[in-house]
């Protein structure tokens, strides 16, 4: 499905609003992760407003595509996107990480049943997505239309289990499975290539019989095209290695691993929201 010019403008605006909302949620929460949610906002936007077969008014619609967020710590972007898509009120984002909130610090289905999985401990989301894809393969063979999406961080590819799952998906030729790796090059302790080098990442996936697509994770059209291409790949799962800028959208946060696991304080958050509202100063009329 091609993206029209109007759609492109709409998606860019939505991604920006999703970023603004998640920063707001993080300020109120007082803890949580900033860099990953910001850099995945464009991919979440394309998924929820273009690619995914889903119905926010009927979250348990059986025919829906399945989305597994493996690195649960970036849930501010998941929650923000879900709210903007109409799963729950945007106002509710202010309850993030608060006692009794449906928006737990890491996603938990007991509190928010519309989530496909609870997640947090890294490295197990791809396995769960592989299980979902296998279930459809058992029931429908190669004729199955539904797609299973797994969103992964680059750092969690240091977990051996990620590769256990990759091996099985390649062996089972799970063409109904698309994984996305957020290649933002950072993790808690530093830059991935210092903590534990992952390159050559694409070769690793290819070795397990995956089709690999590398994209600019902030280019809406490239993102949408990659998801479309994945649907056309026969006999292999697809991984989209999305090159992203950690903290994307707020220059003060960008490329700095120290923003992996902390929220902005009120002042930093307000600067960030202003940056986003004015698109980095491009819009001069922003109310001071």
Partner 1 sequence: MLNPNLKLNEKMFDEKVDQVPIRQGFGEGLLKAGEENLAVVGLCADLTESTRMNLFAEKFPNRFIQVGVAEQNLASVASGLATMGKIPFISSYAMFSPGRNWEQIRTTICYNNRPVKIVGSHAGISVGPDGGTHQAIEDMAITRVIPRMVVLSPCDAIEAKKATLASVDTGTPVYLRLAREKTPIMTTEATPFKIGEAQIFWHPPAGGENPKVGIIATGALLHKALLAAKELDLPAGRQGKIEIEVMNLSTVKPLDEKALIMLAKKTGRIVTVEEHQIRGGMGSAVSECLAKNYPVPMEFIGVDDQFGQSGTPEELIEHYGMGTRDIIKAVNKILRR
Residues that bind partner 1 (CB under 8 A): 66, 68, 108-110, 116-121, 123-124, 127-136, 138, 160-161, 164-165, 167-168, 172
Buried b / exposed e over 229-243, threshold 16 CB at 10 Å, is ebeeeeebbbbbbbb
Q: What is the smallest separation between the CB atom of 116 and partner 1, expressed in angstroms?
A: 6
Whichever of 140 and 266 has its CB closer to partner 1, that residue is 140
CA distance 180 to 171: 19
Which residue, 69 or 276, has its beta carbon nearer to partner 1? 69
Sign of CA dihedral 17, 223, 198, 116: positive
- The helix (run of H) or strand (run of E) holding residue 66 is strand 66-69
Side-chain half-sphere of 200: how many Cα atoms within 13 Å?
5
Kindly tell me which of 55 and 229 has the beta carbon lying closer to partner 1. Answer: 55
Angle among Cα 118, 168, 36 to the nearest 5 degrees reads 40
User: Which CB atom, from 110 or from 267, has the smaller least distance to partner 1?
Assistant: 110
DSSP code per residue over 159-215: SHHHHHHHHHHHHTT-TTEEEEEEE--EETTEEHHHHS---SHHHHHHHTT-EEEEE
Dist. CA 213–CA 221, nearest whole Å:
14
Q: Can you tell me whether residue 151 is helix, strand or coil?
A: strand
Give min distance, CB of 175 to partner 1, in A.
Answer: 16
- Select from 147, 124, 132 the least CA-distant residue to 72: 124
In the complex, the smallest distance separating the C-beta of residue 118 from partner 1, rounded to whole angstroms, is 5
**Residue 240 half-sphere exposure toward CB, CA atoms < 13 A:** 28
What the block records as the tokens of 29 is: 């929460």
Q: Given the complex with partner 1, which of 11 and 130 has the nearer CB atom?
A: 130
Report in angstroms how near the CB of residue 66 gets to partner 1 at its nearest: 7
Give least dist CB 136 to partner 1, A.
7
Q: How far is the CB of 244 from partner 1 (least distance, A)?
A: 25
CA distance 149 to 227: 10
Nearer to partner 1, 14 or 73 (CB): 73
Nearer Cβ to partner 1, position 110 or 203? 110
């Amino acid at each position: 499905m091609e993206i029209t010019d109007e759609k492109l403008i709409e998606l860019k605006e939505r991604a920006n609003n999703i970023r603004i909302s998640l920063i707001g949620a993080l300020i109120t929460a007082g803890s949580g992760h900033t860099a990953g949610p910001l850099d995945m906002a464009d991919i979440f936007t394309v998924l929820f407003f273009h690619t995914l077969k889903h119905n926010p008014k009927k979250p348990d619609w059986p025919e829906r595509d399945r989305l597994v967020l493996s690195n649960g710590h970036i849930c501010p972007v998941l929650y923000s996107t879900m709210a903007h898509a109409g799963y729950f009120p945007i106002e509710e984002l202010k309850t993030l990480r608060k006692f009794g909130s449906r928006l737990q610090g890491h996603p938990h289905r007991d509190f928010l049943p519309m989530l496909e999985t609870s997640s947090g401990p890294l490295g197990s989301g791809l396995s769960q997505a592989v299980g979902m894809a296998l279930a459809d393969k058992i029931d429908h063979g190669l004729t199955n239309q539904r797609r299973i999406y797994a969103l992964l961080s680059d750092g969690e590819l240091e977990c051996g289990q990620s590769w256990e799952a990759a091996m099985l998906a390649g062996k089972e030729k799970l063409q109904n499975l698309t994984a996305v790796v957020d290649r933002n090059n950072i993790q808690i302790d530093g830059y991935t290539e210092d903590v534990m080098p992952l390159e050559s990442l694409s070769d690793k996936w290819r070795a397990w019989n995956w089709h690999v697509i590398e994209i600019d994770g902030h280019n809406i059209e490239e993102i949408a095209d990659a998801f479309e291409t994945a649907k056309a790949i026969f006999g292999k799962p697809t991984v989209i290695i999305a090159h992203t800028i950690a903290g994307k959208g707020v220059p003060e946060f960008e490329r700095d691993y120290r923003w992996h696991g902390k929220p902005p304080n009120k002042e930093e958050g307000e600067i960030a929201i202003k940056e986003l509202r004015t698109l980095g100063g491009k819009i001069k009329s922003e109310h001071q």
